[in-house]
A and B are shown apart, each in its own frame.
Chain A
């Protein structure tokens, strides 16, 4: 990281709109979006499983869920990324490791880190959503003869969905912002590219303005989705 020790230059818009550097920034932006999508797809099912673990009738299962959430949430995302990139591959058998290193291991480590991290937060949101459903619903399901999981699937979760969506959208926003940390393990996403453009051209204002605008645009879309959802599906009184 070098400091910008140059005399002030006028803002060069052309940099942002056409040319090699523009392409680099756009490529970074697209990769950031891909990280977002892939991590989200990984996080949601894991979050659901962990939430159900935390609510399971069996104590060891509950403890497992608790251990997952607490151990992930109390460690910064950056440390997770470092672990999954530098540490975890060493644990794999040699041939898989070689194949990974030949491929896009940086991105995969980032996706694993982001996915597991976000899942821990989403699991708590899903758990809160489920707990918002009166306990009698579970009793009613069990009384009808459904097991724990079946009651969850048919009765509880469909109702919990409405309450859970806004916090999940909020976590997606955090996930989007978290993709920027993948730069530390060399993933060529938006933040990384902004740094690269800055190094090459010394035009820190332009490259960071582009990156900031790109992050803000997607953030606003996500926040807008949350507002729309709450407007369209306001929380129903039981």
Chain B
């Protein structure tokens, strides 16, 4: 479904992505992990062209996303993106956040859009908060609304950029639960995360990145128990025993 071919990205002189060649199949759940600054956020943001690339090719469902005639807005409306900072619209209620795009872009009537939105909010466990504003919601609740908002457009692909990194620990679980349910419905998902438990339980494949390169790709079981690349081994060791170096 998604294809990266020789993708390189620079910010000025700094190269954020180096020779990325990957394929993500429909229905796959791929987790991207790696140390800070490894380029994982950049990678996922190139998929819906929040970060444009000038070297290489990215195709989604066979379409080159940097092709000249492409309708970028239409393309993006078919991809759900969940941000680390939630980015809910503060002047709209939870329901309003979820109905804005369907009404404006899919031409749904308000009643239809609200029905769909309520069903989604119910699915993420927040139907009772439909008329609350983001400022009245906890971080975990906001992120769940953000997921519902993305799902309201019925996308075939969902992208998650460190969805739980900005949450207090006790709220991480409720968001991961929603994400896990999504995987059980066959949604194609690319998730950048540090949550290794989630990756082990739910991912079909793990991509490990460092310094802009994809250094290892494996099934979760293989990756966590038998990492091949030395950097991956070090990364996992650091996570498991964070104070190993501080002797």
Q: Do the two chains touch directly in the complex (Cβ atoms below 8 Å apart)?
A: no
Binding site for A on B (CB under 8 A): none
Binding site for B on A (CB under 8 A): none
